[in-house]
Amino acid sequence: MNKRHGGLLYSGSQWDFKLLHRVYDAVEEIALGELGLDVYPNQIEVITSEQMLDAYAAIGMPLLYRHWSFGKRFAREELLYRKGAQSLAYELVINSQPCVSYVMEENTMTMQTLVIAHAAFGHNHFFKNNHLFRQWTRADRVLDELAYAKSYIAGCEQRYGLGEVESLLDSAHALMSHGVNRYATRRRSPREQQARSEARRQHLESTYNDLWRTVPTEPSDTTEVKTAEQDENDIEAAALDLPEENLLTFLANHAPKLKDWQREVLRIVRTLAQYFYPQRQTKMMNEGCATFVHYEIMNRLYHRGQIDEGSMLEFLHMHSAVVAQPNFDSRGFGGINPYALGYAMVRDIARICDDPDDEDRQWFPEIAGKGRSLETIRDAWEHYRDESFILQFLSPRLIREMRLFKVSDDANDEHMTVTAIHDESGYREVRRQLAAQYDISKQEPDIQISDANLKGNRRLVLTHRVRDGKLLEKSEANRILRHLAKLWGYRVRMVEVDAETKRPLSEYDAVSMP
Amino acid sequence: MHVVDRRQNPKAKSLGNRQRFLRRVKSHMRKAFADSIRQRKIADLEGGQEVSISSKDLHEPTFHHDRNVGHRDYVLPGNHEYRPGDQIEKPSGGAGSGSGGSADGDGEDSFVFALTREEFLDLFFEDLELPNLAKRKLKSMDSPAWVRAGYSTDGSPQRLNKRETMRRSLARRIALGRPKLAEVEALQAELQQAQTAGDADEIARLRKLIDAQQTRMRAVPYLETVDLRYSRIQRVPKPTTQAVMFCLMDTSASMTEQLKDMAKRFYMLLHLFLKRHYKAVELVFIRHTYTAQEVDEQTFFHGRETGGTVVSSALEEMLKIVKQRYPVEDWNIYAAQASDGHNFDHDMPQTLRLLEQEILPICQYYAYIEVNDDQWPGDSVLWHGYYPLTARHANFAQAEVATAGEIFPVFHDLFDGKLRSGSNTN
């Protein structure tokens, strides 16, 4: 046993604040010194189970504006918890600077150690370094923005009434999944913008001249007029930057009937949606990162003699529960466990770097046997998201170990068909499909605003590009369109068009209710 | 690194969310109550309530794919023996799909959650009220409200408001240029130095200065009577309408335990209702067999007693108590009578006479509840005898309760403010 580190950090299950500090220092030494992690400053907050429920209800945010749906979440979580159907998470971590980690008071000291390693270093490192978080979220501003949102919406409630604000938020929440920018916004330079508007103006002028010339002489020439009208619509669409995938942004900027405070509320909800978007895209990697970090740290603490065998066993018990992957046909199956897959992949990358076999050399020539596994892993955490991570690093060996297989399910067929398994001919297919499964833009309906008429009937047109015949669920779509029509203020139409053949498949129409 | 102990922070952080949530589901909850309350015992009111409501209004829609159309591929873990091309039975209920458009987390048809006791009672007693609560007399009850009413220049010493007093003192001292104690002390120190140095001019100058300062200090006192401010507290009479509720219960032998239990439940509900809504309502419990006696709450709900039935005895007892303690001109009088409907035949004329001529004229509202396990309504002596009264007196109502489940709805009907508002003819 190595006495260099001053023996056991703690013994028994009781924790206190002094121990938390000691453990934190020991964990930090390993995380920064040995694993080379790079984290935001940490803030660890001890809370009660009730406060954890509060945090759940506020979708994990420390402060949030008020809305009935959060009350609903709270009521449901509370009931599940009280009935014992579900236990609370040990921790909750917020992507902010400083990085806030909540730990529960009823945790044992071992759990607190695990949580500090998992959240305060694992997740924290991921938040700080992953390119999606860096690009899309401003960790140093999150808490300020939330505080602003809360007070702004509370002010609106006072000024315009609870009911008004509630129904507006209802509509905004319904569109939340389509209130994100999936790609970096095209930030045009001022000169470019000027050039564009100049081009637009010239185009307008030319059509205007055209009209001027044709109308008096040939008033009956409808085709000419129509193309002119058509032209004008095109210009309008160009001015609105259509097609637009971010419905909330579009409404906030262009809905004709909204008042300024309503636009601002829509922007608040959009900001919130955007904040969560990287989390949804990197859930598996993020959990894998945190799980790998806590596993490494706990093991190193144990080897240094800083935690005893009892704690280690307690930890291993929890760890194995976290990374368990039930089979598809077992009762506990609820999809692929992000902790299990994420952790297994990171371990696998380390193995490929340090101890590859021939297959690995053939599949991963860049990293196999090159060593420097931690560096490679950190690099992957930084530059990938779930989809690309799988596409790049899922190895045949892991496919075999998890016995992954691909099935095809057509609604018209009576059976599902196995189309690829863990064999030579199936690896790539399984990997490609699994990656697609983690691609949110492929999993979520692809809906865009394709046309908006700001002058005539003011109709808004949306297009759903249907892939693989996956149409929208009708009643849900109708409800959302009613919300959309309410915000837009006029009639809204949505067409579902096959992405490949461009054949229209179905059509929705919603009228704005007063 | 900071460790922050947040455990002392307010817990009910999502209280505002919960209020908004309850507001939203109120109409649904009322309906759910009507159903769920039927199976409920009064004792249940003590704890929180679980309510199940339709989730239609609680639904948060999202765009997602229809699971019943289209083509899907997905990867599953844990293959045993399948080879490419194998056919698998589709799982029923859509389980087993690792992907697909199962984005919605709340597809359930009804939503179950727990209400606290307070929330439950609030909702249950919403809209209920004592009918014809006329303002018989505005009288300051023994708890007049004391309210703050600014400051006054005199008052009792314990009401001295130090902050206001010091504010005025400070303003006055600055305005009149009272020298500060520290300044005078500094001068005196200088004087001492001058004395040891033996500088006669300086001594004279300083003496003069100190003299002037001290005179000024005496002229402008630190605290003067004009500075004093006292908190003024005003006694405001709080108008309260006085009301008394008489609970009359038949505890004779014909009332089986089960019937008594039902009657007691009714009164418990009444009790809860009045306690919650009317601080100033007094309750009088009278139980009767062939004689009547006033009892306390405890005995009324938990005591046991049997005997014959003379309803008029209870009415007489009530009149006696009214005469003694609740002058009609000062009090709103209510009564609720529960019985199985039995009465000795020879007592009926006396009962009806008392009720119609003496009690109903002084009552704001009189409710008769017949607890009854197998009979038809109108079959009993009392029901039959009382029936004509309902037509003649708007402040008289009768209702029948045959099963415990009917107690809640009947109670609701009897005290529904909206239903009864038309019959305000007292």
pLDDT for A180-225, tens place per residue? Answer: 887 765 555 666 767 766 776 666 666 655 555 555 544 444 444 4
Q: Is A203 a member of any domain?
A: no
CB atoms under 10 Å from CB of A70, counted, come to 24
Confidence of residue B98 (pLDDT cuts 50, 70, 90): very low
Closest-CA distance, A101 to chain B, in angstroms, reads 10
From chain A, pick out residues whose CB is under 8 angstroms from the CB of B79: 328, 403-405, 421-422
A3 or A396, greater pLDDT:
A396
C-alpha pair distances (Å), A322 with each of A55, A319, A326, A342, A381: 21, 5, 11, 11, 20
**C-alpha span between A485 and A460 (Å, rounded):** 8
Average pLDDT over residues A245-261: 88
B110 or B65, greater pLDDT:
B65
Query: Is pLDDT above 80 for B128?
Result: no
Same domain for A489 and A390: no
Q: How many domains does chain A have?
A: 3
Q: Is A397 a member of any domain?
A: yes
Low-confidence winner among A355-359, A497-501, B35-39, B200-204 (lowest mean pLDDT)? B35-39
Same domain for A407 and A460: no
Closest-CA distance, A228 to chain B, in angstroms, reads 36
Same domain for A451 and A430: no
**Containing domain of residue A341, as a range?**
326-441
pLDDT digits (tens, 9 = 90+) for B335-393: 888 888 888 888 888 888 888 888 888 888 888 888 876 656 557 778 888 888 888 88
**C-alpha span between A241 and A448 (Å, rounded):** 12
B80 or B120, greater pLDDT:
B80
Same domain for A450 and A423: no
Choose, out of B14, B19, B23, B26, the residue to mutate when testing the contact with A (most A CBs < 10 Å).
Answer: B14
Closest to B97 measured CA to CA, from B84, B109, B88: B88
pLDDT number for residue A296? 93
State the pTM of this model.
0.70
Question: Would the CB atoms of B101 and A426 count as touching at under 8 Å?
Answer: no
Average pLDDT over residues A303-312: 90
Question: Would the CB atoms of B63 and A162 count as touching at under 8 Å?
Answer: no
Low-confidence winner among A45-54, B194-203, B258-267 (lowest mean pLDDT)? B258-267
Same domain for A332 and A308: no
Q: B122: which residues sit within 8 A by CB, 6+ positions away?
A: none
From chain A, pick out residues whose CB is under 8 angstroms from the CB of B21: 68-72, 74-75
Q: Is A3 a member of any domain?
A: no
Q: Is A41 a member of any domain?
A: yes
Low-confidence winner among A193-207, B57-71, B244-258 (lowest mean pLDDT)? A193-207
Order of all β-strands in the sheet with A504-510: A446-452, A460-466, A492-498, A504-510
Query: Is pLDDT above 80 for A348?
Result: yes
Query: Residue A297 in contact with residue A319, Cβ under 8 Å?
Result: no
Question: Where is the domain boundary, A408, A441, A474?
Answer: A441
From chain B, pick out residues whose CB is under 8 angstroms from the CB of A437: 74-75, 98-99
pLDDT digits (tens, 9 = 90+) for A265-301: 999 999 888 888 888 889 999 999 999 999 999 999 9
A4 or A380, greater pLDDT:
A380
pLDDT digits (tens, 9 = 90+) for B216-236: 888 888 888 889 999 988 877
C-alpha pair distances (Å), B374 with each of B30, B260, B377, B382, B386: 29, 15, 9, 16, 19
Question: Would the CB atoms of B98 and A469 count as touching at under 8 Å?
Answer: no
**C-alpha span between B165 and B149 (Å, rounded):** 16
Closest residue to A71, CB basis, from B21, B59, B87: B21
Closest residue to A411, CB basis, from B3, B69, B89: B69
Same domain for A308 and A392: no
Query: Residue A285 in contact with residue A342, Cβ under 8 Å?
Result: yes
Closest to B7 measured CA to CA, from A358, A103, A239: A103
Same domain for A460 and A404: no
Closest to B245 measured CA to CA, from B271, B280, B284: B284
Q: Is A399 a member of any domain?
A: yes
Confidence of residue B423 (pLDDT cuts 50, 70, 90): very low
Question: Would the CB atoms of B82 and A418 count as touching at under 8 Å?
Answer: yes
pLDDT number for residue A121? 93
Question: Would the CB atoms of B75 and A405 count as touching at under 8 Å?
Answer: yes
Query: Is pLDDT above 70 for B139?
Result: no
Q: Is A53 a member of any domain?
A: yes
Kindly state the tokens that stand for A211.
Answer: 């009209």
Confidence of residue B87 (pLDDT cuts 50, 70, 90): confident
- Measured between CA atoms, the residue of chain A closest to residue B15 is A71
A327 or A218, greater pLDDT:
A327
Same domain for A125 and A27: yes
Query: Is pLDDT above 90 for A345?
Result: yes
Q: Is A427 a member of any domain?
A: yes
Low-confidence winner among A53-62, A159-168, A419-428, B182-191 (lowest mean pLDDT)? A53-62
Query: Residue A445 in contact with residue B63, Cβ under 8 Å?
Result: yes
pLDDT number for residue A186? 53
A196 or A375, greater pLDDT:
A375
Alpha helices in A63-189 (DSSP H): 68-83, 109-115, 124-129, 131-136, 142-160, 162-174
- A contact residues 424-443, partner B, Cβ 8 Å cutoff: 425-426, 430, 433-434, 436-437, 443
Average pLDDT over residues A334-346: 90
Q: Angle CA(B101)–CA(B105)–CA(B108) in degrees, nearest 5?
A: 110
Closest-CA distance, A35 to chain B, in angstroms, reads 19
Closest-CA distance, B260 to chain A, in angstroms, reads 35
From chain B, pick out residues whose CB is under 8 angstroms from the CB of A20: 3
**The dihedral of CA B110, B114, B120, B123: what is its sign?**
negative
- The rounded mean pLDDT for chain A is 84
**The dihedral of CA A39, A41, A44, A45: what is its sign?**
negative
Same domain for A434 and A336: yes
**% of chain B surpassing 70 pLDDT:** 76
Kindly state the tokens that stand for B46.
Answer: 């003590």
Choose, out of A418, A425, A447, the residue to mutate when testing the contact with B (most B CBs < 10 Å).
Answer: A418
Q: Provide ipTM, 2 decimals.
A: 0.77
Average pLDDT over residues A127-152: 87
- A contact residues 8-67, partner B, Cβ 8 Å cutoff: 17, 20-21, 24, 28, 41-48, 50-51, 54, 57-58, 66-67
A50 or B374, greater pLDDT:
A50
pLDDT digits (tens, 9 = 90+) for A416-459: 888 888 888 889 999 999 999 888 888 888 898 888 877 777 88
Question: Where is the domain boundary, A297, A318, A339?
Answer: A318
Closest to A508 measured CA to CA, from A447, A461, A448: A461
**C-alpha span between A117 and A296 (Å, rounded):** 9
pLDDT number for residue A236? 64
Q: Is A70 on the interface with B (CB under 8 A)?
A: yes
Same domain for A449 and A436: no
Confidence of residue A473 (pLDDT cuts 50, 70, 90): confident
Closest residue to B70, CB basis, from A67, A430, A471: A471
Query: Is pLDDT above 50 for A106?
Result: yes
B51 or B149, greater pLDDT:
B149
Q: Is A59 a member of any domain?
A: yes
pLDDT number for residue A294? 93
pLDDT number for residue B422? 40
Average pLDDT over residues B122-139: 62
Q: Burial code of B216-240, b = ≥16 C-beta within 10 A, e = fewer?
A: ebeeeeeeeeebbbbbbeeeeeeeb
From chain B, pick out residues whose CB is under 8 angstroms from the CB of A330: 78
Average pLDDT over residues A487-499: 89
pLDDT number for residue B32? 65
Query: Is pLDDT above 80 for A244?
Result: yes
From chain A, pick out residues whose CB is under 8 angstroms from the CB of B87: 415-418
Query: Is pLDDT above 80 for B398?
Result: yes
Confidence of residue B399 (pLDDT cuts 50, 70, 90): confident
Same domain for A25 and A132: yes
Kindly state the tokens that stand for B366.
Answer: 């009189």
Choose, out of A86, A447, A470, the residue to mutate when testing the contact with B (most B CBs < 10 Å).
Answer: A470
From chain A, pick out residues whose CB is under 8 angstroms from the CB of B32: none
Choose, out of A68, A280, A466, the residue to mutate when testing the contact with B (most B CBs < 10 Å).
Answer: A68
**C-alpha span between A66 and A288 (Å, rounded):** 33
Average pLDDT over residues A220-235: 55
Number of helices (H) and strands (E), helices first, in chain A?
22, 9
Average pLDDT over residues A111-130: 91
C-alpha pair distances (Å), B378 with each of A32, B168, B289, B373: 86, 78, 22, 13
Q: What is the largest CA-CA distance in chain A?
A: 101
pLDDT number for residue A117? 92
Closest-CA distance, B30 to chain A, in angstroms, reads 17
Low-confidence winner among A127-136, A368-377, B293-302 (lowest mean pLDDT)? B293-302
B310 or B108, greater pLDDT:
B310
Question: Would the CB atoms of B23 and A68 count as touching at under 8 Å?
Answer: yes
Closest residue to B4, CB basis, from A43, A120, A407: A43
CB atoms under 10 Å from CB of B159, counted, come to 14
Same domain for A305 and A358: no
Average pLDDT over residues A16-42: 91
pLDDT digits (tens, 9 = 90+) for B280-324: 778 888 888 888 888 887 777 777 777 778 888 888 888 899 888
